[in-house]
Structure formats: structure tokens, C-alpha cells
Amino acid sequence: MSTPVPTAVNATLTVSNGPKGLLYTWSGSNIDSNGNFDFTSIKGPVQVTLTVSSSLQISYCQPAAQTMWLGKQSSGRPTQPYSGTEFSAPVFPNGIVNQLRWTDQNSDGLIYWYVLLLWEVDPGHPTGQQIQVDPRVINRGASK
């Protein structure tokens, strides 16, 4: 039996300065304005590429496998990288640290929270500071 080719989903997180701190704008396929992915309309695995775009000094934290935490929404906000078989470990495709790619098997019908760990360097934090952004992923059920 052959493994299905994952459906490509591309999204962008644009980070900019706002009057009360950083502003986050999400765009792309299967993602809403809060950064929540909804894969219920896709059958089979999904390969997600999430790009950070900013004129600020912002990138993903490193290494790639540690820059995104995933956990079932029912367990609360995740505090460590995902451990399981539903998602692959995130990687930086082609070594680009403003792009993160992972595969979601999209088969269990569960809702997951994901936390992106970003790194910002600014005048107030010249050596950098970690920023956490925490949207969610909604998976399609295996029986659908």
C-alpha cells in the first residue's frame, strides 16, 4: 500500500510593531486570522510550511525541532516539543530559519494547541528575547 502524498499548506505569520506591542497577522491556506489551522476539509496527511515575515529582527528559535510545541487541546497549553506519531518533528527547509515545516498525519480528529517560539532582537533586548505565539490545529477524523 502506498503512502499518500501530503497536501501542501502554506501560511505566513507577519509580525510588526503596534501601539501596544507586537501585532501578529496570519495569512495563507487553511488558517484563520488567529493562526488556527483547520484541516477538516483535507483528507490525508498535510505538509505545513509556516513562514515568519517581518521587518523586525524576528526568527524562529533554534533548533527547529524545539521551536514548536504541540499538545492536545484537552491537556492544556503545551510546554515542550510534541512526542507522538501524529506530527513529524519541525525542520527548517533548506536551512532557512524564518520557515518551519512539519507534517500532520491529519487522522485523529483531535484539536491541538501549538506554540511557536520566536526570537526577537530589539533595542530593549539587544541579546534577544523569546516570544511565544499559541494558536491551534484542528485535525480531520480518520473516519471522514
Domain 7-138, CATH number (from 2.60.40.420, 3.30.565.10, 2.30.40.10, 3.40.50.460): 2.60.40.420
In tens, the pLDDT along 96-110 reads: 889 999 999 999 999
Look up the pTM and report it: 0.90
Separation CA 95–CA 117 (nearest Å):
17
Quick check: 33 and 131 in contact, CB under 8 A?
Answer: no
In tens, the pLDDT along 52-70 reads: 999 999 999 999 999 999 9
63 upstream amide cis, omega within 30 of 0: yes
Q: In 3D, which of 70, 83, 78, 67 has the Cα closest to residue 139?
A: 70
**pLDDT value at 37 more than 50:** yes
The dihedral sign for the CA sequence 33, 66, 15, 12 = negative
Domain extents in the chain: 7-138
